[in-house]
Amino acid sequence: MRVAALYDVHGNLPALEAVLAEIRDAGVDLVVVGGDVVPGPMPRETLARLLELGVSTRFIQGNGDRTVAQAMAGIEPAEVPEPYRDGIRWSAREVCEHEAVLAGWPKSLRLRVRGLGDVLFCHATPQSDTENFTRRTPEDRLVPVFRDADAALVVCGHTHMQFDRTVGGVRVVNAGSVGMPFGEPGAYWLLLGPGVELRRTPYDFEAAAACVRATAYPHAEEFAARSVLRPPSEEEMLDVFAARELAAR
């Protein structure tokens, strides 16, 4: 079985479409969507596309999906910084007919993948959908987090930067972000089975930015500039995350 792991799409439909074109050519048997389909500039279109892929698809819930589902249920997204709560509320209105779908996604997923063995998919860590860690986080701090993973490989996302490292004998791979990467512009994802391939898919960034700006998303201009055209560098974001390792983002 070959599995594509797509994390942190964040409503970036042009980036998703570029990845799906590569998936069609890769002979993928299953797509795992690892959370944070929303919020973002095209949440309704992105979710609809993922729900009707034409290939077996499994979802897990990210913190973004969770807060959007909570907003649909009338719960204030208090964990989200105040300047970005309007984006949560806007996304909730855009996908309001899918409240049960987003709320019903599990927190994790276990699969056996050919050549890799048992694989655990989670959004941030096996115990949280908001904990931050990166390729720089000291292993001794991470061993307790992954000690009970009971898997040969853990696939995560959340911090939007790819890496492949070992924690206490457990291989931990971050899929990166399809829609809001840090580092070189592109759509980042994983191809699993029989090995692990860290993928980056280029797409038409100027056209995508124009599509984003044409939406009513409250942060459309910022998204177009900093998530599509000129994302922050990995070094910049590694420094940011260093101050809040294993804390909620």
Tens digit of pLDDT for each residue in 66-110?
Answer: 999 999 999 988 899 999 999 999 999 999 999 999 999 999 999
Query: Per the domain annotation, does 248 fall within a domain?
Result: no
Helical ranges in 161-218 per DSSP H: 205-213
Asked if residue 134 has pLDDT above 60, the reply is yes
Query: Per the domain annotation, does 224 fall within a domain?
Result: yes
Neighbours of 57 (CB within 10 A): 15
Strands 56-59 and 187-192: unpaired
Contact 248, 130 (CB under 8 A): yes
Query: Per the domain annotation, does 25 fall within a domain?
Result: yes
Query: Per the domain annotation, does 114 fall within a domain?
Result: yes
Query: Per the domain annotation, does 49 fall within a domain?
Result: yes
State pLDDT tens for residues 147-187: 999 999 999 999 999 999 999 999 999 999 999 999 999 99
Q: What is the pLDDT of residue 88?
A: 97
DSSP state of 220: H
Q: What domain range is 226 assigned to?
A: 3-242
Query: Per the domain annotation, does 146 fall within a domain?
Result: yes
Cα(110)–Cα(79) distance, integer angstroms: 28
Cα(126)–Cα(146) distance, integer angstroms: 7
Contact 57, 30 (CB under 8 A): yes
Q: What is the pLDDT of residue 244?
A: 83
Cα(154)–Cα(200) distance, integer angstroms: 20
Mean pLDDT over 214-229 rounds to 98
Query: Per the domain annotation, does 193 fall within a domain?
Result: yes
Q: Residue 9 half-sphere exposure, CB side, CA atoms within 13 Å?
A: 31
Cα(130)–Cα(47) distance, integer angstroms: 21
Query: Per the domain annotation, does 249 fall within a domain?
Result: no
Q: How many domains does the chain have?
A: 1
Asked if residue 249 has pLDDT above 60, the reply is no
Name which of 41, 40, 84 is nearest 62 in CA terms: 40
CATH number at residue 159: 3.60.21.10
Compute the residue count for the chain.
249
Q: Which residues, listed in sequence order, are joined to residue 122 by a DSSP beta bridge?
A: 108
